[in-house]
């Protein structure tokens, strides 16, 4: 669960609270975003808030402000952080702080489908092996992307 409050926007109807039970929350002017902001000055895709295990990150391709400080790239978020990007200002009100590891969930999922859906299991294994062959490395952080 991620609870966001849009504090300021040219789209007055978007101002308010949003509670989403998603691992990723996309924000921008496109209607395909989880939080669409009707504002022609905003990019179609402004950024994404990612919820992984007990942390929250904001990924943005352009400079933004976090609690009045200019930031670029990816930043870890805390409760009550305020993000300003383009003509949009929003606050992280709350998020679930799960005490489990997403990697463990993934491997548990693999163990579950190994017997329930062997074809799907074999496909996932083949994709992982193909990725390793293409990149020449095993990426432990693959699940974080």
The pLDDT value recorded for residue 102 is 54
The pLDDT value recorded for residue 78 is 93
The pLDDT value recorded for residue 138 is 56
- What is the C-alpha to C-alpha distance for residues 60 and 53, in angstroms, rounded to an integer? 20
C-alpha count within 13 angstroms, C-beta hemisphere, residue 7: 11
57 pairs with which residues across the strands? 50, 76
The pLDDT value recorded for residue 104 is 61
C-alpha count within 13 angstroms, C-beta hemisphere, residue 118: 1
The pLDDT value recorded for residue 103 is 56
Task: Give every residue of the chain whose pLDDT is below 70, as ranges.
Answer: 53, 98-104, 136-145
**Backbone phi, psi, residue 122, to 5°:** -65, -40
The pLDDT value recorded for residue 129 is 83
Q: Please report where in the chains the tokens 């990816």 appear, as a residue.
A: 74
pTM of the model: 0.64
Strand 24-28 vs strand 35-36: parallel, antiparallel, or unpaired?
Answer: parallel
The pLDDT value recorded for residue 134 is 79
* Class of domain 2-95 as given by CATH: mainly beta
Q: 33 is written with which tokens? A: 């975003």
- The domain ranges of the chain are 2-95, 102-144
The pLDDT value recorded for residue 64 is 93
């Amino acid at each position: 669960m991620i609870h966001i409050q849009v504090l300021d926007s040219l789209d007055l109807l978007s101002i308010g609270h949003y509670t989403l039970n998603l691992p990723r929350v996309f924000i921008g002017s496109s209607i395909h975003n989880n939080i669409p902001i009707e504002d022609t000055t905003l990019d179609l895709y402004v950024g994404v808030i990612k919820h992984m295990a007990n942390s929250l990150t904001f990924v943005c391709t352009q400079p933004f402000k976090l609690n009045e400080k200019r930031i670029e790239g990816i930043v870890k978020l805390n409760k009550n952080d305020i993000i300003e990007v383009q003509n949009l200002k929003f606050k992280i009100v709350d998020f679930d702080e799960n005490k489990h590891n997403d990697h463990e969930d993934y491997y548990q999922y693999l163990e579950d489908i190994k017997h329930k859906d062997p074809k799907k299991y074999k496909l996932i294994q083949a994709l992982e092996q193909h990725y390793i062959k293409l990149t020449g490395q095993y990426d432990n952080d693959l699940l974080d992307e």
